[in-house]
Amino acid sequence: MITLNLLHPIESIPIQTWKFESEPVIRIGRSGDNDVILYSSVVSRYHVELHRHALHWEVVNIGANGTYINNQQIDKERIQDGLIIRLAATGPKLQIFLDGSEALTPSLREAVTKPVPPNSPRDSRPTFMANK
């Protein structure tokens, strides 16, 4: 699941939230046929897309006024949990939260997804013994 929070322009607290379960692409912009519609003069009709990949999400700018992360304009960028994007240099901010395996860091994701052979040094499963 992916959650998007529209942040208040001054206080940076969520003022609107969208949650998506299984969409492969989430479209954000001013046009009424986007998944997230933001009415702002600096937001393009089709401004940005979020693309789901096997183990991560990616933000892709498609708008004329640009998409920014930390005041740097981006074309596309891998999404990390808690990432804040700004639509246009002075437009609305969205904070993106990832749930489940999408929120794992790359090294932790590798450790979780690689099978561990039984009795290997990495097999640190606890052994429990019943008290008699």
Could you tell me the domains of the chain? Answer: 2-102 (2.60.200.20)
Q: What is the mean pLDDT of the chain?
A: 84
pLDDT at 129: 42
Calculate mean pLDDT across residues 19-42: 97
Could you say which DSSP state residue 102 is in?
A: G
pLDDT in tens, 63-96: 999 999 999 999 999 999 999 999 999 999 999 9
- Cα 43 from Cα 85, distance rounded (Å): 13
Token pair for 43: 């937001």
Of residues 94, 113, 93, 116, the one with CA closest to residue 102? 113
Distance CA 67, CA 75 (A): 7
**End-to-end C-alpha distance for the chain, whole angstroms:** 45
Rounded Cα distance between 132 and 114, Å, is 37
What is the Cα–Cα distance from 79 to 96, expressed in whole angstroms?
8
